[in-house]
Chain A
């Protein structure tokens, strides 16, 4: 046993797969200990907030400011308000308003803005300009107001009793707050999704649920496959004929179709995550059963099994001591594959709208289903679906890699 383990951990593929899988499992276990947010809690108003650090504006005004004199601050401020497209649009307006083209230099910000401030007149009608474009210029003009000045802005507050406006503070352009002084800062590593939930928290919880579904389904499938395979292979005769008949039928009928039909008949309200796992387990035992049967048949007539039979050992003991140890490595590899395919199957079902009901737990499939329903992929909201796909791929990749590694350890013929 010790020797086998040593051999397994010498296989590079297995170790890489094992490390990826273990780190995913550890994240799923450790993360909720530190972050206690409910995974389905809706935190944002509006959908698909992009990833980033969110600093409370109200708190940052009240926080002790520091003065930093940075040379490029003004340039950055202008760049964020005035993109290259805006510069081109300004030039377009000025040309149409009758300024000679050679006088306009879009790269010289100061000259361009001065020219704009002197010439722009919202009441001026430019022939052939659509209304939306006119409104765009009005908005642009408003956002450019005072961009070049170095004055600060004044914060006003209303006195609750007298209703008069007071100005408690002025914010200079050189004021900075240290993010650690601001009491309310929220890191949304992966933004929020269509319902306004924190994708990071939801994703980690969903990974846990999906892994659980995979493990439950994999264990069920492997157990059924093992029992049917052992019975068919060891007992033989009529039992073997009947079981092989059933197995062959289920091999040809696509199991995914069977799953669709069963999940569809269970109905949305009764489909919990565990129900889905059980249904997946009951439809995917077929290949394990077939392979176990083949292996047991080849073992059945070996000398040590015959000896055991002659010694009058009960069937249970023969199976547990003389047959199972020989097929254990194979069954374990089959279990790994079953887990990985069950996770993929759950995701496929959920995308079809047949996953677990949407109200109690997130799963990887449900997150994808929501992202697709809300067209995240077309809207370019990558943080709503890409991390989910990456996690699914990583889980299944690591499991498959472990399996390939084990295969090379147990099948010396496959070694290079």
Chain B
């Protein structure tokens, strides 16, 4: 048990350090951006105003509101204090809404879309990969190129193809949004059914991509394990095939769990873009509008939230890994 405690302690320290670094990068980077976003808002708000004194007053008020006149360090301290109170400040492009209010809704759409999709894709991909390695022959010859092609297709490419086939041509499923544009979010069957329908295309576009990548990884790992000496020895001893397979795939699975962590980290990029193709009301679409509106509190809040999501997912997987992989315990206890 002491070995585990040390392993977990190590991981927790790592988690905290990475978190701090990610946080600093997140806050500092967008603030180094050239141009004055406050000036941009004022210009947008006062397009028809001619009163210069009035404009200056508006500008001063906004500068004080957003603290953009303070030195970078002060801004940074302000930001930290506010973030720990759950306050990300005001959104520049959607003022007077706060960043927290903008994110509260979109965050859930993204979480509900991405995590189930990545996990289901991972499970299906690994099963297919294992099957390809075990059955070999024609089955393998079919699955490998298809998987390589599927994983080569970018997430937005898969999203567009599904959108055009099932949304535009066949008209089976709706093409954009998270629910019907004529509905108000409420807990009734009509709304839930609409959400389910709108969920299908973004969901499957992420799942199909994930299947490809995971199948390739699992296939190589399984072939590697199937050729290992212990398998040959076990076959020699007359151990039943089904029993050998269980061991082989358990061993091949281990690296694939790291693969799941990696998938969550890298899918974020691709899946955010896939959301944009479907105008899904998640973080991706919000991020796009924040970038177009030069809204740096919103951009850094979104990137921070995504980073935290990925960090937590990674952390959880590493902890899980510690329980599954006996070698970690062995490595820590000597």
Residues of A within 8 A of B (CB): 248-249, 251-262, 264-265, 267, 270, 340, 344-345, 347-348, 351-354, 368, 372, 377-378, 380, 382, 385-386, 389, 392-393, 396-397, 399-401, 404, 407, 413-414, 416
* B binding-site residues for A, Cβ under 8 Å: 14, 17-18, 21-22, 25-26, 29-30, 32-35, 136, 140, 144-145, 148-149, 151-157, 160-161, 163-164, 168-169, 175-176, 216, 220, 223-224, 227, 265-266, 268-270, 272-273, 276-277, 287-288, 291-292, 296, 299-300, 303, 306-307, 310-311, 314
Q: State which of A249, A256, A265 has its C-beta within 8 Å of the C-beta of B269.
A: A256
Could you tell me the distance between the alpha carbons of A266 and B30 in the complex, rounded to whole angstroms? 9
Nearest CB in chain A to that of B33: its residue: A265
Contact check, A345 vs B269: say whether CB atoms are below 8 A apart: yes
Q: How far is the CA of A261 from the CA of B157 in the complex (A)?
A: 23
Residues of B close to A254: CB separation below 8 A = 265-266, 268-269, 306-307, 310
A-B contact pairs, 22 of them (CB 8 A): A249-B22, A254-B268, A260-B303, A267-B35, A270-B34, A347-B156, A348-B273, A353-B288, A353-B291, A368-B156, A372-B277, A378-B168, A378-B176, A380-B169, A386-B160, A392-B153, A396-B153, A396-B154, A400-B151, A401-B148, A414-B223, A416-B140
Asked if A264 and B299 sit within 8 Å, CB to CB, the answer is: yes
| Closest chain B CB from A310 CB (angstroms) | 31
Given contacts A389-B157, A413-B227, contact A400 B29 (CB under 8 A): no
User: Cα distance A256–B262 when bound, in Å?
Assistant: 13
User: Closest approach, in angstroms, between the C-beta of B177 and any C-beta of chain A?
Assistant: 12
Specify which chain A residues have a CB less than 8 angstroms from the CB of B168 in the assembled complex: 377-378, 380
Does A264 contact B33, Cβ atoms closer than 8 Å?
yes
Complex Cα spacing A152 to B268, Å:
64
Complex Cα gap A265–B227 (Å): 50
Question: Which residues of the partner chain A approach B268 to less than 8 Å between Cβ atoms?
Answer: 254, 256-257
**Nearest-CB distance from B54 to chain A (Å)?**
29
Closest to B31 in A: A265
Contact of B291 among A251, A352, A380, A392 (CB under 8 A): A352
| Residue from B144, B160, B164, B287 with most neighbouring chain A CB atoms (10 Å) | B160
Instruction: Return the contact of A258 from the options B25, B291, B300 (Cβ within 8 A).
Output: B25
Evaluate contact between A414 and B18: CB separation under 8 angstroms: no
Bound Cα distance from A348 to B299, whole angstroms: 16
CA–CA, A147 and B114, complex, Å: 58
Residues of B within 8 A of A261 (CB): 25-26, 29-30, 299-300, 303
- A249 interface neighbour in B21, B163, B273, B310, Cβ under 8 Å: B21
Nearest A residue (CB) for B219: A414
Contact of B287 among A251, A260, A397, A407 (CB under 8 A): A260
Q: Is the CB of A352 within 8 A of B273?
A: yes
Beta-carbon contact of A249 and B303 below 8 Å: no
For A389, what are the chain B residues with a Cβ–Cβ distance below 8 Å? 153-154, 157, 160-161
Chain A residue at minimum C-beta to C-beta distance from B15 = A252
Find the B residue at minimum CB distance from A385: B160
Chain B residues with Cβ below 8 Å from A259 are 269
Cβ-closest chain A residue relative to B270: A348
Interface core residue of B33, B136, B152, B270 (most chain A CB under 10 Å): B152
Q: Which of A252, A264, A347 contacts B154 (CB 8 A)?
A: A347
Tell me if B's interface is mostly helix, strand, loop or mixed: helix
Instruction: Give the chain A neighbours of B17 by CB distance below 8 A.
Output: 249
Question: Looking across the interface, which residue of chain A has its beta carbon closest to that of B35?
Answer: A267
Q: Are A353 and B307 in contact (CB under 8 A)?
A: no
Q: Is the interface of A mostly helix, strand, loop or mixed?
A: helix
Q: Give complex CA distance A264, B29 in Å.
A: 9
Contacts of A385 in B (CB 8 A): 160
- Complex Cα distance, B22 from A257, in Å, reads 10
In the bound complex, what is the Cα–Cα distance between A75 and B175 (angstroms)? Answer: 39
Question: Which B-chain residue is minimally distant from A257 (CB atoms)?
Answer: B303
Q: Which of B157, B288, B296 has the most CB of A within 10 A?
A: B157
Flag if B269 contacts A372 (CB, 8 Å). Answer: no
Which one of A249, A258, A344, A352 contacts B18 once the chains associate, using CB atoms below 8 Å?
Answer: A249
Whole-angstrom distance between the alpha carbons of A248 and B151 in the complex? 25
Point out which of A377, A407, A414 has the most chain B C-beta atoms below 10 A from its C-beta. Answer: A377
Chain B residues within 8 Å of A248, by CB = 14, 18
User: Considering the chains assembled together, what is the distance between the CA atoms of A413 and B223 in angstroms?
Assistant: 8
Q: Least Cβ distance of B164 to chain A in Å?
A: 6
* Cα–Cα, bound, A91→B22 (Å): 70
Cα-based distance from A372 to B25 in the complex (angstroms)? 31
A296 CA to B287 CA, complexed, in Å:
40
Query: Knowing that A253-B25, A254-B310, A378-B175 are A-B contacts, what are 9 other residue pairs whose CB atoms are under 8 Å apart, sorted by A's residue number?
Result: A264-B33, A264-B299, A340-B152, A352-B291, A353-B292, A354-B291, A400-B152, A401-B148, A414-B223
CB of A407, distance to nearest CB on chain B (Å): 8
B14 CB, nearest partner CB in chain A, Å: 7
**B299 & A260 in contact (Cβ 8 Å cutoff):** yes
Q: What residues on B are CB-neighbors of A351 within 8 Å?
A: 156, 273, 276
**Which of B144, B220, B269 has the largest count of A CB atoms less than 10 A from its CB?**
B269
Interface pair B287/A253, CB less than 8 Å apart: no
Q: Which residues of B contact A265 (CB under 8 A)?
A: 29-30, 32-33
A264 is contacted by which of B18, B25, B224, B291 (Cβ under 8 Å)?
Answer: B291
Chain B CB within 10 Å, residue with most, of A256, A396, A401? A256
Contacts of B310 in A (CB 8 A): 252-254
**Complex Cα gap A265–B154 (Å):** 25
A251 and B136 CA atoms in complex are apart in Å by 34
CA distance A340 to B292 in the complex (A): 27
B164/A382 in contact, CB under 8 A: yes
When C-beta atoms are compared, the residue in chain A nearest to B264 turns out to be: A254
Taking CB atoms, residues of chain B closer than 8 Å to A397 are 148-149, 152-153
Evaluate whether A267 and B34 lie within 8 angstroms (CB atoms) in the complex, with A252-B311, A257-B303, A352-B288 already known.
yes
Complex Cα spacing A264 to B277, Å: 20
Residue ID in chain B nearest A245 by CB atoms: B17
Quick check: B148 and A257 within 8 Å, CB to CB? no
* CB of A395, distance to nearest CB on chain B (Å): 8
Contacting pair A392 B157 (CB below 8 A)? yes
Q: Is the CB of A416 within 8 A of B136?
A: yes
Measured CB to CB, the nearest residue on chain B to A394 is B152
Task: Report whether A372 and B276 are in contact in the complex, using a CB–CB cutoff of 8 Å.
Answer: yes
B164 proximity list for chain A (CB < 8 A): 377, 380, 382, 386
Contacts of A347 in B (CB 8 A): 154, 156
**In this complex, what residue of A is CB-closest to B315?**
A252
